[in-house]
Amino acid sequence: MLYIGVDLGTSAVKLLVMDETGDIKKIVSKEYPLFFPHPGWSEQKPEDWFEKSMEGIKELTAECDKSQVAGISFGGQMHGLVALDKDDNVIRPAILWNDGRTGEETEYLNEVIGKDKLSEYTANIAFAGFTAPKILWMKKHEPENFEKIAKIMLPKDYLAYKLSGSFCTDVSDASGMLLMDVKNRSWSKEMMDICGITEDKLPKLYESYEVVGTLKKEIADELGFAENVKVIAGAGDNAAAAVGTGTVGDGMCNISLGTSGTIFISSNKFGVDENNALHSFAHADGHYHLMGCMLSAASCNKWWNEEILKTKDFAAEQAGITKLGENRVFYLPYLMGERSPHNNPDARAMFIGMSMDTTREDMTQAVLEGVAFGLRDSLEVARSLGIKIERTKICGGGAKSPLWKKMIANIMNLKVDVVENEEGPALGGAMLAAVGCGEYPDVEAAAAKIVKVVDTVGPDEELTAKYEERYQQFRKLYPTVKCLYEKG
């Protein structure tokens, strides 16, 4: 049988089709626009997601036996607010995960409602990118739109709804809304009251591997599929990527170098760090995970190369970098503000430490190192909880860089395992579809069969020591310059 995974990303939808053994038959990607109507805002049109996903599925399956397609599932960009009216029309463009407009609402939730209460209700505190602050923003700034809301959903759930008619979400993605009681995997009545919404406006909660429905007849006809093709709930992009790299079960780690950067630690037990610096979310394997998320990771490298250096040859820019652990230039990777562990939407990127002999290579190296240092900030929080991590998987566009992988290994002092098929959330989505269709008994069994480690990048003792010294300098920078971000 064939299983389709749909990775609804920020810049494009990536789709793959695999068979029951995990053999990937084809991969397709379709881009769509991203809108920045005001500084710090970030929006997309859900209609674009659906249009490009349908185009992608048709292209993906054009040459295969469509009667063999058994299930479709998703990995999706998290936290985005998609609001539909009673006629299922999109009320306004979706407000995305990297949108920073909700500073006041986030402060209200954290300071007036209180972080302790939020953590009690949801296991997390408010971050500007989360969904609940966006609902409060809409309530205050667009009251006429707020009154029209009949359904609130996350980006990938809009696709599931359009394909199947099922108003659904999964627990891993819903964990990032600040509306769900993560420990008990249910909606939080207290948070609904705070946001002024009722439970009928929220989707039904499913585990990531559960079937939510089958294709609508008109969709099945358009795609040339059978109507009994199952639609499986899917997961937030990071949880789906973790499935795709085999980061399931207890004590596993995955680092993602995508548009955003994450460090993802799976756990069989529910847990929260006392400062809520890491997100405590439900995992797609039926258990839990801790996650640190930085808003700009590979996007820092893309910005530096394409906007500043005016080149798309990223490899050429990295070719001349040889003095690892000796760079005097530091880069703070906060182009869009920062989430973990600083929770500051007003933070901004900066270079520090240039001198007359600073080179282009030094600056490029600083960008790559700055992202790795930023991820280590979150790793240190996990280590403070007594979590012992010795190795990690790695995925995302940035993971294609041998240099960046070497930096990650030595800055974090971890063995970095490279998997055979680095297809992230799309592969994870397809694996969840296979589990939902009964091909595997559970997510861990699917990962054990499908995910294969083909290389390991280990830390070098001497280089790790050099980077330890650099990291201790890096971690002093944000507290020192934090006052510069404050709005006066």
The alpha helices in 186-330, defined as continuous H runs, are 189-195, 217-223, 237-244, 298-302, 314-319
Question: CB burial class (10 A; 0-12, 13-18, 19+) of residue 337?
Answer: buried
State the Cα torsion 268-117-381-425 to the nearest 10°.
Answer: 50
Determine the Cα–Cα distance for residues 184 and 282; give it in Å rounded to an integer: 9
Looking at the predicted structure, is the pLDDT value of residue 488 above 80? no
Phi and psi angles of residue 173, each rounded to the nearest 5 degrees, phi first: -70, -40
pLDDT at 347: 94
pLDDT at 211: 98
pLDDT at 457: 98
- Could you tell me which of 247, 254, 253, 289 has the C-alpha nearest to residue 268? 289
pLDDT at 31: 97
- Could you tell me which of 381, 371, 334 has the C-alpha nearest to residue 257? 371
pLDDT in tens, 47-98: 999 999 999 999 999 999 999 999 999 999 999 999 999 999 999 999 999 8
pLDDT in tens, 338-364: 988 998 889 999 999 999 999 999 999
The catalytic residue among 7, 173, 237, 417 is 237
Structure tokens at 356: 């007359």
Residues annotated within the binding site for substrate are 78-79
pLDDT in tens, 398-423: 999 999 999 999 999 999 999 998 88
pLDDT at 273: 85
For the whole model, what pTM was predicted?
A: 0.89
Taking CB atoms within 8 Å and a gap of at least 24, the contacts of 29-38 are 29/56, 30/55, 30/56, 34/10, 34/96, 35/93, 38/101
- Could you tell me which of 385, 381, 375, 386 has the C-alpha nearest to residue 409? 375
Looking at the predicted structure, is the pLDDT value of residue 396 above 90? no
Q: Is 221 noted as a catalytic residue in this protein?
A: no
Looking at the predicted structure, is the pLDDT value of residue 397 above 80? yes
pLDDT in tens, 270-282: 988 888 889 999 9
pLDDT at 483: 95
Residues annotated within the binding site are 78-79
pLDDT at 343: 84
How many Cα neighbours within 13 Å face the side chain of 188?
25
Looking at the predicted structure, is the pLDDT value of residue 9 above 90? yes
Helix (H) or strand (E) holding 236: strand 235-236
Looking at the predicted structure, is the pLDDT value of residue 23 above 90? yes
Length reported for the chain:
488
| All domains in the chain, ordered by first residue | 2-238 (3.30.420.40), 249-419+458-488 (3.30.420.40)
pLDDT at 28: 98
pLDDT in tens, 315-334: 999 999 999 999 999 999 99
Mean pLDDT of 150-159: 98
Structure tokens at 307: 């906007």
Looking at the predicted structure, is the pLDDT value of residue 189 above 90? yes
Determine the Cα–Cα distance for residues 169 and 155; give it in Å rounded to an integer: 10
**Alpha-carbon torsion 402, 406, 411, 417, what sign?**
positive
